[in-house]
Amino acid sequence: MDTYKVGYFVGSLATASINRKLAKALVRLAPKHLEMEEIPFRDLPLYSYDYDADFPPPARAFKKALAGVDAVLFVTPEYNRSIPGGLKNAIDWASRPYGTNSFTRKPSAVIGTSPGAIGTAVAQQSLRSVLSFCNSPQMNAPEAYIQFKPGLITDEGEVTNEGTAEFLKNYMAEFHAFVVRVYTVLPRGG
């Protein structure tokens, strides 16, 4: 069975982000055929098309990291009923310059956690709209809106609730199956 390299984004720039904890848990629970690698975007300047002719070094490194992965996983909080500005900025960089969209035909999935009862449902819908425009095939099910409670996930990414751990393990297995399906129809490098 093929191994796929998955680049993941943690939407929050906060060091102690609960979404970073969720990302660590997902890395631990991923099937062995998914190689997980974070794609950081903290150092990207604010995007402007003025950069399109000559990307600054952090943006070139960012685009190179995206080119090196087969699929993308977004782990994002919800800020003001949408995605964080830093994450949107990263997506804007990835989609430019025109004709070099890093998400075209690259499978993606969206998940997030929040203390609120609806998790990150509205942010995820906002992100899905952006990813649709970026021509990224998206895993539509299962949807995952994780309500974070203190102690649910340790700093090392261990999920303390058995039901949540099983759900997240299944989510990652479904993501693997989705990536396989996408590349059955749209071969890598094709």
Of 19, 35, 90, the C-alpha closest to 61 is: 90
Which tens digits make up the pLDDT trace of 152-182? 999 999 999 999 999 999 999 999 999 999 9
Exposure letters 61-80 (e unless 16+ CB within 10 A, then b) = ebbebbeebbbbbbbbbbbe
Residue 77 · residue 84 · CB < 8 Å = yes
Which tens digits make up the pLDDT trace of 71-95? 999 999 999 999 999 999 999 999 9
Which tens digits make up the pLDDT trace of 14-40? 999 999 999 999 999 999 999 999 999
User: Given its phi and psi angles, is residue 127 left (phi above 0), alpha (psi -120 to 50 degrees) or beta?
Assistant: alpha
